[in-house]
Amino acid sequence: MTLQLYGVVRAGHPRAPRTVRWEDLAMVVGEPEPDPAKHLAVVSALVEGGPVLPVRFGTVADDEDAVRADVLMPAADTYRSDLDRLDGLAEVHVCLRFTEPGSAWRSARSDVLLSEVAERARDSVALPAGESADERWAFLVGMGDLLVVRDAVTGLTRGGGVQADWIGPLPAYSFLDRRTCSRWTW
């Protein structure tokens, strides 16, 4: 029976609907799902119950034995290390859309605007702007700081000249080492 892979968590994760366990690790699995938004919703819901190492949408395994032998066992030490590093943290995206032109102004302005968020973050990375924002940032923040970050971002729109949105909590996609990825993970 083909299984869709969602993410690696610690065994006993309280929000994991269905898992395949190997020692102290588990892969959240389900029936193959053709909708990437539903995949993201499942993985994002896991974040509130503990760290999750998300798996790329559309990744499948033949059966539970393949999940254990081909996914969990070979990279167990890396998974444990990443889960420990991300414990209590989540990724938050902040999107800024400036209503005034000028890229130099934008760059300087975003540093000032996002300073309160950056102070609470363990790490940050610029993301490609895309269609919905002039600037997008990913911040790795403590779960206890999510409301403070939300309020700080919401307050940015009152300053004029910028519209700000935030999305989170998300799995830490932007803060996982892509050099060590296998075909099974992020």
Q: Residue 146 in contact with residue 168, Cβ under 8 Å?
A: yes
- Residue 17: asked if its preceding bond is cis (omega within 30°), the reply is no
The pLDDT score that the predictor gives to residue 156 is 80
Most confident of the ranges 24-38, 105-119, 130-144, 171-185: 24-38
- What CA–CA distance (Å, rounded) separates 157 from 104? 20
What value does the mean pLDDT take over residues 68-72? Answer: 96
Averaged pLDDT, 72-100: 92
Model pLDDT, residue 100 = 67
Query: Taking all residues of the chain, what is their mean pLDDT, rounded to a whole number?
Result: 87
| d(C-alpha 28, C-alpha 26), whole Å | 6
Integer-rounded Cα Rg, in Å, for the chain is 18
Of 21-30, 120-129, 144-153, 167-176, give the range with the top mean pLDDT: 21-30
- Give residue-wise pLDDT tens across range 105-132: 555 667 778 889 999 999 999 898 777 7
pLDDT of residue 183: 44
Confidence of residue 97 (pLDDT cuts 50, 70, 90): confident
Listed range (7-11, 24-28, 64-68, 135-139) with the worst mean pLDDT: 135-139
Structural domains in the chain?
A: 3-87 (no CATH), 89-175 (3.30.70.260)
Burial class (CB in 10 A: 0-12, 13-18, 19+), 64: middle
What pLDDT shows up at residue 123?
Answer: 94
Question: What is the arithmetic mean of pLDDT over 57-71?
Answer: 95
pLDDT score for 180? 40
